[in-house]
Structure 1
Amino acid sequence: MNRFILTATAAALTLGAPAFAASDDTAMAAPSGDVAAGEAAFGKQCVSCHVVKSDDGELLAGRNGRQGPNLFGVAGGKVGSVEGFKYGKALAAAGEAGNMWDEENFVAYVQDPTDWLRKATDDKKARSRMGWKVRDPQEAADLYAYLYSIAPAAAE
């Protein structure tokens, strides 16, 4: 009986996971991280600079972090695309080049923002304005899973 419940729950979660359209109109894969662990990590590491506030103004995570952009819709979204936030030149260029915040890009970026930007823009002088680094790759994946779980639904 427990195996059936576990299997049914896993199937429901898989089918209910949002799918985001990538730049080539294919769905992005569901994240590999742990949502609850990501929520805890966000509360410890990200809230001093970031907030997650829905388009209608509902505060989903964070406090009043204003140094970094609002992270609502970042997971699965285009790099450097939060309206009203002034990005550094390198991150804006990475977005203009069509980079998306899929799990691979997000995890690599939060682990070493400047290194990721240099590779994404093919500019050895590119620098990130984000000074924080998430050292643990699993924790970075967990953060992505959390942001993905509270992201807006895919465009209809």
Structure 2
Amino acid sequence: MKKSLKAMAPVALALAVALTSGSAFAEGDAAKGKKAFKRCSACHSVEAGKNKVGPSLHMIIGRKAGSAEGYKYSSAFGEAGEKGLVWDADMLIAYLENPKKYLAAFLGKDKVKSKMANKFKKLQLREDIVAYLQSLQ
């Protein structure tokens, strides 16, 4: 029984995100997101192929998790990509709240390893950052 509940966690998480999230682009402010992205820019760039400690976020919307060219991901991100995690605005907003917890839930695991240390608790801040990333598409 415990395993079947773990297997259902990614489905439940995706459903919860879909039911509770509106259009992230409409909700976020790209200009505010650009300012907020400065917290992210120490580890991520938005330039194609320019990876830092974290992968480039250029064209992140619609990209399969763990697939930025030239970046060495943790095994958890590779597995998430293989299981079909493709970043859209709502998923990124949910992910940014607690990256390790989101990824673990998606994979149905208790814990995962990730270099992503930042957590963004405020929904509006997450929506603004994602609106900024969408504006670069």
TM-score tier after normalising by the smaller chain length: 0.7 to 0.9
- Is the counterpart of residue 51 in structure 1 residue 45 in structure 2? yes
Deviation of 1:91 (Å): 1.4
- The answer as to whether partners of 1:117 and 1:127 remain within 8 angstroms in 2 is no
Two-structure CA RMSD over aligned residues (Å): 1.8
Larger radius of gyration: 1
Query: Of residues 55, 58, 83 in structure 2, which corresponds to 1:69?
Result: 55
Deviation of 1:117 (Å): 0.7
Q: State the partner residue of 1:102.
A: 88
Aligned residues: 114
Q: Which whole-Å CA distance do the structure 2 matches of 1:46 and 1:30 have between them?
A: 19
Deviation of 1:40 (Å): 0.8
Identity %: 38
Which of 1 and 2 has higher RCO (CA within 8 Å, sep 6+)? 2
Ranges in structure 1 where 5+ consecutive residues have no aligned partner = 1-28, 58-64, 152-156
- Is the counterpart of residue 118 in structure 1 residue 119 in structure 2? no
- Is the counterpart of residue 138 in structure 1 residue 124 in structure 2? yes
Partner-residue secondary structure (3-state), 1:52: coil
TM-score when scaled to structure 2? 0.76
Deviation of 1:118 (Å): 1.0
Higher strand residue share: 1
Deviation of 1:30 (Å): 6.3
TM-score when scaled to structure 1? 0.67
Higher helix residue share: 2
